[in-house]
Structure 1
Amino acid sequence: MENIIGAMTALITPFKNGKVDTEKYESLIKRQIEQGIDVVVPVGTTGESATLSHEEHRLCIEIAVATCKNTGVKVLAGAGSNATHEAVGIAKHAQKVGADGLLSVAPYYNKPTQKGIYQHYKTIASSVEIPFMLYNVPGRTGVDIEADTAIRLFDDVSNIFAIKEATGSLERAIELSSKRPDFCVISGDDAIDYPMLANGGKGIISVTANLLPNYKSKLVHSVFDKEFDTAKKINDELYAINKALFLESNPVPIKAAMYIAGLIDTLEYRLPLTPPSKETMKILEEVIKGYEVIK
């Protein structure tokens, strides 16, 4: 089993007249490929997966697989749900249509125990054969995949190879990698990508990379090439945009930033998400001026 690592983008899902804009989605993925991203992540939480229909969810995975075919860029498909059987269905479909791996967010709202989290992930990962990445973002889900639970899953389920850590805690990342060096820890917080990678992280899943894949791919590859000064410089340069992109709930600001930059034609969200405030739009317009957005 080949691990899926490197510079990864948590893709937004563009809408047009209330529907997924499939042509724009394909073009956004092609842009990611052209600017050096290693892996695209369709229909993760940044892709508004919680408000997509199952049909739309499957369609986005299919488009990503077709667009990345024969490019060397891998597809890590979002396969998360707070209903285990639904996540199993998505995971099986993703494997069937050719996704290279799966990313599955912790079950939100239910607030299961650690035993429940363990059984949830074991059930989903065991239903497929492709590589499987846990996704821990307690600020959004209401539950924390504790280090011992993550390690137990890594030990017990052969295709669980990684965890996307979005706790904001370097200590948690170090705890995981120190106890299981082969367990890939992936940064899920744009602001701390460099320190995560410098401490042994095997990659990033980035929101900011939707806008600036050229910066994010260079940051990761610089670390892999042991060019740490270059990577830190890029991480520092990105601080302002990373901060601005989380002024409101993700993915509200990143879609607005992409609209401002001319990367998407319409600024649409699915309720309960709504467009950003005028103040946030002004800040984004100003901050974007400091970066080279290559279309």
Structure 2
Amino acid sequence: MPSEPIAAAGSPQLLSLRGINKSFGAVAALMDIELDVAEGEVVAVVGDNGAGKSTLVKVLSGVHSADSGTIAFEGREVTISSPAAAQHLGIATVFQDLALCDNLTVVDNLFLGREISPLRLNEVDMEVRSWELLRQLSAKIPSVRTPIAALSGGQRQTVAIARSLLGDPKIVILDEPTAALGVAQTAEVLNLVERLRERGHGVIMISHNMADVKAVADRVVVLRLGRNNGDFRVRDVSTEDIIAAITGATDNVVSRRSAARGTGQGPTQETDAS
């Protein structure tokens, strides 16, 4: 059963979505979506395939415009009509494909399209700024002159996140940041999320990985079939409760076994009615 939205305690609200709807023809991708993100808060958005996560990211990043509903940023109602408008507001998005050029160096990727060039390319200033960004994230990059092709998956994610900080955003959206990464690289990326929170950024993290969600998120918002289906404080919710909200299951093998353990009964013979 969906819970009531939870207001962040003690932190200024950065982003509030109310009644967001988005349809593609006859297909309703988002229906009456609500979402709040406070300063220095990591909000995980989870849901099964087709739940509306990608559409929500694209609405917030300006790729799609919402059909109806309101978006408030720092207390004022705004319209996000394009990616440039989102960046101007202070919303940066790191998509799952990262959009990095393998043949270019770290510094070239960081400043691609935003080169410091009053008269000619200022290579020194760009390199200094690159190191500043990477140090803010406690990044483990050997050199800003290293080609992207030579970096690990975690290091590439680091470069993509560092690039998103160039415009000094207040909200950073990470779309499946640990997908297809190994254990060590995943830990590296989760440390980056912690650094973003420590610097006061609001973070929206799209993820399928419940371990990652429990590790770094303050709140988890569940989407199911384009609707809100739960808003929980991570410290107060179990992985089983989150999965039940994702799948819509209220009575299943996991929940029955948990209930039996809670009452002190031993495991019982269970049959699956499906």
TM-score normalised to structure 2 length: 0.42
User: Whose helix proportion is higher, 1 or 2?
Assistant: 1
Question: Comparing both chains, which one has the higher relative contact order based on Cα–Cα distances under 8 Å and sequence gaps of 6 or more?
Answer: 2
Bigger radius of gyration: 2
User: Whose strand proportion is higher, 1 or 2?
Assistant: 2
